[in-house]
Structure 1
Amino acid sequence: MLAQLSQVKRHIGLILIALIIAPSGFAQSSIDEKPNGFAMAGDLVVARPIGLVMTAVGGAAFIVSLPFTALAGSVSESAESLVLGPAKETFVRCLGCRVSGYSYKDVERRRDRKEQEAEQAALEAAEQQ
């Protein structure tokens, strides 16, 4: 039991070290909003699972720290740092992108396609008359 606890502590320590080192590595690299297949595959296989684990660990840490942060009046800052930040990086960032946020590319493409279809229908209706 004690050996398992030691291994768990070691794994948590390694994850925390990786999280501390990773942001500095991403900050030094250029922003690539048109990721290639390799970047997408790496993001899917490596970064997203790590982000999911960090969101879960952050959620647990947030719950544990909630009584203290509530007394200090910093619940929102704690929630942002421990839960919302990792969740945003995991679920809101496009696959392979380095900057989180919505790109709305699909929405824009769909709107453009509908506009083209409406113009085509209008031209066909004008030709029939």
Structure 2
Amino acid sequence: MQLMATLRTSVNIAVATALLGMSSLASAERIEESPSAGAMVADAVIARPLYFVLSQAGALVYGATLPFTLLGGNADEAAETLVVTPLQAAFVRCLGCGKVENSVGSLDEGEGKMIRHFVMVSGGVSQEKSFVGEKFLSGGLYLGTHFSLVDDSRFDVMLGGRQLMASEKDVGDENLSSLEIVSRFGKAVNGWLELSGKLGLSRWKYKVDSDVDITGISDIKASSFDFFWGVGAAAQLSENWRVGLDYTRYDLTVEDNITLSGVAATDADALAFQARLADGIDTNLELLDLNITYMF
């Protein structure tokens, strides 16, 4: 089961990466290079996946050190070096080319790029599938760094958290909490609309204070690290404010780290629910939320 879960997660990431990569490649500026077929194959098979992995590893380091780099005044340099530069190499270069037009490192702030920090608040609804079938209400808070480049490409790196509460209580008081590191990249359209994709890593915790009569269990806890991806659109309202709409897909898999308390099964339904938990939690969340961002 662990192998299948790992493969499924890898496929989801690969699909999201491919879609975002094709979109970015289609909108990238033409570079005056004539790469060979071998260079194109090597770029697609080796270089781009490596740059993508580097960007996500950089996002982890950026997120973990963000409070300190903000205090030290070099959060923008950290985001540029650790995340945006490898993201450009992974998605913006033409296939097989050795350089990137408008590379973030070659642009001066105010002359080709603008760097700003932001706080984003989000709220929405989600549908959990294949486990208990719950609908959740969601709220989130994020802190990050935003890059606007002269070629209309946009990059965000952010650290934040999300809380989800079940809107119905068929099982009990059910909630999810998630600590997340996110890299987001896209394009500005018509100067005021931004279309983007995002990839991230979440550390989430699942908890149920259950009705024993329904499940035969008084308390359920689980936690895991999982990847997620999404797409979104945002509109610039003013110099400092923007509003957006995001779709996010989480794949949550836990096989071993599940704790049950107060087990008191008395009927077939309760025993069946416990049997499902014994096999692990393998489910997904599809979340649609509205977000408001303040740039500073």
1:88-107 to 2 correspondence within 5 Å?
Answer: 88-101=88-101
**C-alpha separation in 2, matches of 1:52 and 1:78:** 17
Q: CA deviation at 1:33?
A: 1.2
* Structure 2 gaps, min length 5: 1-31, 103-296
1:51 is aligned to 51
* Matching of residues 1-129 of structure 1 within 5 Å: 33-101=33-101
Aligned-residue sequence identity (percent) comes to: 42
Cα drift, residue 101 of structure 1? 2.2
The amino acid that maps onto 2:34 is K
Q: How many residues align?
A: 71
Deviation per CA, 1:4-57, whole angstroms, max 9, x where unpaired?
A: xxxxxxxxxxxxxxxxxxxxxxxxxxxx81001000000000001101100110
| TM norm structure 2 | 0.23
Larger radius of gyration between Structure 1 and Structure 2 = 1
Question: Any idea what SS the aligned residue of 2:71 has?
Answer: helix
**Alpha-carbon distance in 1 for matches of 2:101, 2:84:** 13
In the TM superposition, residue 96 of structure 1 has moved relative to its aligned partner by 0.2
1:66-125 per-position Cα deviation (integer Å, ceiling 9, x unaligned): 0110110111111100110110111111100001127xxxxxxxxxxxxxxxxxxxxxxx
Counterpart amino acid of residue 80 in structure 2: E
Q: Distance in 1 between matches of 2:43 and 2:55?
A: 16
- TM-score under structure 1 normalisation? 0.53
Q: What is the SS of the residue equivalent to 1:34?
A: coil
Displaced runs of 4+ in structure 1, greater than 2 A? none
SS at match of 2:35: coil
Structure holding more strand per residue: 2
Q: Distance in 2 between matches of 1:91 and 1:64?
A: 24
